[in-house]
Structure 1
Amino acid sequence: MSADRELSEETRLIHLGRSQPMEGVRPVSPPVVRTSTVLAPDIATMRANKARREDGSRVFSYGARGTPTNHALEEAWAALEGGERALLFPTGLAAIAHVLLTCLLPGSHVLIQNTVYPQVHAIRSKFLEPRGIASTYFDGTVEDAAAKITPATRMIYAENPGSWVYDLIDVKALSTLAHDHNALLVIDNTWASGLLHKPLLHGADISVIAGTKYVVGHSDVMIGAVVANGELGRELWRMQVVMGQTVSPDDAWLTLRGLRTIAARLPIHAASALGIARFLQGHPLVERVLHPALDSHPRHDLWRRDFSGSNGLVTIGMRPDIDLSAVDRFVDTLRLFGIGSSWGGFESLALPQAPETVRGWTGPGVPVRLHIGLENPADLEADLARGLAAIG
């Protein structure tokens, strides 16, 4: 497939994971194969398939281990991330949990970036530590990680950029630190969705993505993925089989459909978000605006070095004298922004949060996370201006 590597990302995404010829013709999209039992023509074939499967080969042998529909998505997702093997999970959180449970044993230690997805903190406190897996938070910098890494550290777990505040990490430097201490570097790559940033190509060992967001793109499927190389990828797959983690072929098909258009959708989200971020920077009720593509972002240079683009997420900090009840009123006034968890779909969303609950949030002011959807940005700006006027 060396010729494929010369193609643009947009072209590759259209042609990855395509259907195989059927009686001389080929459907554009792979069929949805729904089954639990897969019948072998004879015992010899069944045993041969089992032997191939135990060696780590992808074999259509039982529905829970993936149908051709799932396999098509796995192949496309691995290629998207620049990895050898992609594994599918029912949610992004399930993918995260699988990596932590597979790679960490009692007595080991994990460094966790402070601003990762909030549910990772719940896994840490409710599952890892009660079972003898120690953990320490670090601020995302290589210097802090180096000061806190120990001989027992088996993993550095980070999100790039971090949730809500979009703090960026130096994956190349962190991977060097991790590997010098015989530890793995795991990156939650959901923000970039495998398109804008490729952690494995920068030295990370495992990339985790909540495909529910931009890969699906339509807010109608829950799915997660883990991408890794070599024996590590095979071990993650073996434990996936042991734990019975799988996704339905219908969800795999819908996700593959979304993956085809992500390169077309993300630039629209990004351009609209950047324009709205600049608009909000000039509003008297907004104290600060966080978005990696803004020149004002603290590590904008790192974003320019390691990322090929941005997405639709913007976090604003309201003026210090505007309390949470006023911010709630602002969000309630918006007509085009839905109020709900998640992001990455075609629709715009707004979610306020008490500042003390947002890790990495510094300074006064209530944070509001905006997801800028595919609506006309002029309409969204007018809606935000109207909402801000309601509390101004």
Structure 2
Amino acid sequence: MKKKSQTALLHAPRNAPQYISTIQPPLYRASTIIFKNTDALFNRHWSDAYDYSYGTHGTPTTYTLADSIARIEGGDFCLLAPSGLSAIQLVNASFLNHGDEVWVADNIYSPNMEHLRYLKTHCGIVVRVYNPLDANSFIPSDRTRLLWLEAAGSLTLEFPDLKKLVQKAQQAQVLTALDNTWGAGLAFHAFDFSDEHLSVDISVHALTKYPSGGGDILMGAVTTKNKTLHHRLLSVHAIQGISISGDDAAQIQRSLPSMQIRYEHQAQSARMLLEWLKQQSEFAQVLHPANPDNVASHQFWLENCPTGKSAGLISVIFKQQYDLIAVRQFCDALSLFKLGFSWAGPISLVMLYDLKQVRTATSAHLQQGLLVRFCIGLEDPEDLIQDIAQALHQLKSHSDQPSVISDL
């Protein structure tokens, strides 16, 4: 059949071969996916490993990234979401119903806590808080359905008593979900992290951080080894229309080969800053899992991360004589460290927090004072130390009341 010119543009008489071998996998952009025939249309199921039926379900580009993240995490199944918080919400939406109880660490990523408070108000979820350094503070009931873990905590960087917490959850038949963004699948194995081969049920990973590494893409992932759990997540994932851009997936896939190199470089720089920061008189406490001064956290980190790996995050608590105005002055005086949320990008970041505004309980292991979190980039660590030193010289004491700063 001879085609008019406009039709010929859309239905070419021939196409270039579709598959060649390249270093980077091909990029697929798709909402509509063409079926070869009606057999292909009807002989498929939403639970298929690769359901090529519509762009929200996946393309070779997004499935390739999901498979890569599953390998990094040590899991078998992975779903992608538009952000780390979206991935967290997918877990909450999949496993929490009216009257169910969820336990969260006091150092939990605060947007997760905000989401759970929303579910508490509007859906009747019961939210309990435990001390991540004291497994005895987690007391599951017959209504407990989910235990959220975070290793290490978002701001205060405590490494939890992961072994005992998971053991207690398993004994009570409670699902465990780990925010594994800090470990990134590199510091320890979420699905095999002890001599007893303990495993969490679900690992959530903000791909915005180390997998991306550029500070320019938002994405999250939910990984598991359990097919039943995966199908529960997959059904909610589909119902909610959760999907990601093929372009974003390709960018993160391109960054994965350098992820471990970047992780270790930033971690090494943070360890150099740790030793220097501990000597500075302005700080009441320096928070990092490798700091033996933080006794319990340090021991749990050694137990679960025997290779000594850690992320490029380090926090300090200023002595109480330095009020909000003084600490803001310090942050503003920094030159290489930029004020901004997130971490694991090429540029070092700094953010100021008042723990009284983002914590639900008083933690005896933490000093009183304002907290500043440093997120180490790819700069030379000696330059970063000099930047902090010059900013400390400009500190002056003032009085003011801290304001709420969210944790991102």
Do they fold alike, i.e. is TM over 0.5? yes
Q: 2:273 aligns with which of 268, 276, 279?
A: 276
Aligned partner letter, 1:43: T
CA distance in 2, matches of 1:60, 1:24: 17
Q: 1:109 aligns with which of 61, 76, 101?
A: 101
CA distance in 2, matches of 1:355, 1:65: 40
**Bigger shift: residues 180-189 or 301-310:** 301-310
CA distance in 1, matches of 2:120, 2:301: 32
Q: 1:249 aligns with which of 227, 246, 256?
A: 246
Residue in structure 1 matched with residue 402 of structure 2 by the alignment: none
In the TM superposition, 1:1-392 aligns within 5 A as: 25-48=20-43, 50=44, 53-140=45-132, 141-145=134-138, 148-201=139-192, 202-229=198-225, 230-298=227-295, 299-307=297-305, 308=307, 309-359=309-359, 362-391=366-395
More helix by share: 1
With the length of structure 2 as denominator, give the TM-score of the two structures: 0.86
CA distance in 2, matches of 1:213, 1:54: 30
Residue in structure 2 matched with residue 5 of structure 1 by the alignment: none
The secondary structure found in structure 1 opposite 2:393 is helix
Question: Is contact 1:314-1:371 (8 Å) kept?
Answer: yes
Aligned partner letter, 1:232: L
Question: Is contact 1:129-1:135 (8 Å) kept?
Answer: no
Pairwise CA distance, 1:57: 2.2
Point out the structure with max Rg over C-alpha: 2
Aligned partner letter, 1:227: T
CA distance in 2, matches of 1:260, 1:237: 27
**Bigger shift: residues 265-274 or 56-65:** 56-65
Pairwise CA distance, 1:322: 1.1
Aligned partner letter, 2:26: P
Aligned partner letter, 1:28: I
**Considering only aligned residues, what root-mean-square deviation do their CA atoms show, in Å?**
1.6
CA distance in 1, matches of 2:224, 2:19: 35
CA distance in 2, matches of 1:102, 1:203: 20
Pairwise CA distance, 1:203: 1.5
Question: Is contact 1:107-1:133 (8 Å) kept?
Answer: yes
Aligned partner letter, 1:47: F
Pairwise CA distance, 1:23: 7.4
CA distance in 1, matches of 2:303, 2:36: 53
Question: Is contact 2:190-2:199 (8 Å) kept?
Answer: yes
Deviations 1:173-194 (A, max 9, x none): 2222112212101111111112
Structure 1 runs not aligned, ≥5 long:
1-21
Pairwise CA distance, 1:213: 1.0
CA distance in 2, matches of 1:331, 1:55: 49
Pairwise CA distance, 1:133: 1.4
The secondary structure found in structure 1 opposite 2:290 is coil
Residue in structure 1 matched with residue 403 of structure 2 by the alignment: none
With the length of structure 1 as denominator, give the TM-score of the two structures: 0.90
Question: Is contact 2:104-2:149 (8 Å) kept?
Answer: yes
Pairwise CA distance, 1:301: 2.2
Question: Is contact 1:172-1:203 (8 Å) kept?
Answer: no
Aligned partner letter, 2:36: P
Pairwise CA distance, 1:25: 4.3
Identity among equivalent positions (%) equals 31
Pairs aligned (count): 366
Aligned partner letter, 1:88: L
CA distance in 2, matches of 1:24, 1:36: 20
Question: Is contact 1:166-1:292 (8 Å) kept?
Answer: yes
Aligned partner letter, 1:217: G
Question: Is contact 2:184-2:205 (8 Å) kept?
Answer: yes
The secondary structure found in structure 2 opposite 1:176 is helix
Pairwise CA distance, 1:46: 1.3
Deviations 1:248-284 (A, max 9, x none): 1011111112222111111110111111111011012
CA distance in 2, matches of 1:216, 1:197: 19
The secondary structure found in structure 2 opposite 1:267 is helix
Residue in structure 2 matched with residue 15 of structure 1 by the alignment: none
CA distance in 2, matches of 1:209, 1:45: 33
CA distance in 1, matches of 2:189, 2:207: 15
Pairwise CA distance, 1:24: 7.9
